[in-house]
């Protein structure tokens, strides 16, 4: 491994809540590009099969079905990556804002540490974030098979991001209130 990769020195401006939107937009662009490529492939195939026999038309239908399926599978995996990055951004903002000089490992430890500083995280939000963390860990440490990506989709990732943005907004607002009262 190159030495530059061992430094983890990639922050200049710091993480913000905008990093969540950036992640969502990036994945959507990639999926849109893949979907456009699929449409182009299908258009070209249909042009190639124009005027062919009924049997060859059935073959075309199967090819298009397969292409659509594998495109769908690829897109599902992109939402796995989005969830992984979103959790990383969440944990990174916690570190950046509440314990920049500590190297805590694990989502739960980080959230417990923040709560230990007497910051409030609703129990229901805490529990839900831990559940999402379990899913992210499962996807990262024992990922689904290549053609069976699981059920995670854009709505799920959006739900997670809405949750962590809400929690971070409350925490940062509480921190600013504390700083202004000192």
Q: Which residue has the higher pLDDT, 2 or 126?
A: 126
Confidence at residue 89, expressed as pLDDT on a 0 to 100 scale? 98
Domain assignments of the chain as residue spans, ordered by start: 15-180
Residue 150 burial by Cβ neighbours in a 10 Å radius (0-12, 13-18, 19+): middle
Confidence at residue 7, expressed as pLDDT on a 0 to 100 scale? 85
pLDDT tops 90 at residue 140: yes
Whole-angstrom distance, CA of residue 150 vs CA of residue 62? 23
Of 95, 46, 90, 87, nearest in space to 67 by CA: 46
The first and second tokens of residue 102, run together, are: 């500590």
Confidence at residue 27, expressed as pLDDT on a 0 to 100 scale? 97
Confidence at residue 73, expressed as pLDDT on a 0 to 100 scale? 94
pTM, full prediction: 0.90
49 and 60 Cβ atoms separated by less than 8 Å: yes
The first and second tokens of residue 67, run together, are: 């292409």
Tens of pLDDT, residue by residue over 96-134, are: 999 999 999 999 999 999 999 999 999 999 999 999 999
Confidence at residue 147, expressed as pLDDT on a 0 to 100 scale? 86
**Buried b vs exposed e over 14-45: b needs ≥16 C-beta within 10 Å?**
ebeeebbeebbeebeeebeeeeeebeeebeee
CA angle 81, 85, 90 (to 5 degrees): 150
pLDDT tops 80 at residue 182: no
Tens of pLDDT, residue by residue over 30-87, are: 999 999 999 999 999 999 888 878 788 889 999 999 999 999 999 999 999 999 999 9
Whole-angstrom distance, CA of residue 10 vs CA of residue 151? 32
pLDDT tops 80 at residue 144: yes
Task: Show Cβ contacts of residue 158 under 8 Å, excluding neighbours closer than 6 positions.
Answer: 24
Q: Which residue has the higher pLDDT, 181 or 130?
A: 130
Concatenated DSSP letters for 36-53?
Answer: HHHHHHHHHHHHHHTT--
As a whole number, mean pLDDT of residues 126-144 equals 96
């Amino acid at each position: 491994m190159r030495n530059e990769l061992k430094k983890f020195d990639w922050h200049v401006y710091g993480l913000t809540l905008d990093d969540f939107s950036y992640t969502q937009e990036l994945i959507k662009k990639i999926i849109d590009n893949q979907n456009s490529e699929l449409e182009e492939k299908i258009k070209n195939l249909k042009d190639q099969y124009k005027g062919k026999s009924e049997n060859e038309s059935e073959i075309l239908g199967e090819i298009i079905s397969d292409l659509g399926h594998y495109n769908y599978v690829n897109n599902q995996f992109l939402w796995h990556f989005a969830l992984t990055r979103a959790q990383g951004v969440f944990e990174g903002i916690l570190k950046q804002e509440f314990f920049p000089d500590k190297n805590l490992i694990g989502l739960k430890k980080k959230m417990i540490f923040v709560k230990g500083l007497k910051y409030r995280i609703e129990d229901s939000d805490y529990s839900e974030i831990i559940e999402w963390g379990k899913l992210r860990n499962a996807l990262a440490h024992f990922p689904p098979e290549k053609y069976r990506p699981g059920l995670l989709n854009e709505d799920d990732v959006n739900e997670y991001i809405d949750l962590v943005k809400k929690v971070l907004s409350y925490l940062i607002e509480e921190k600013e209130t504390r700083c202004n009262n000192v």
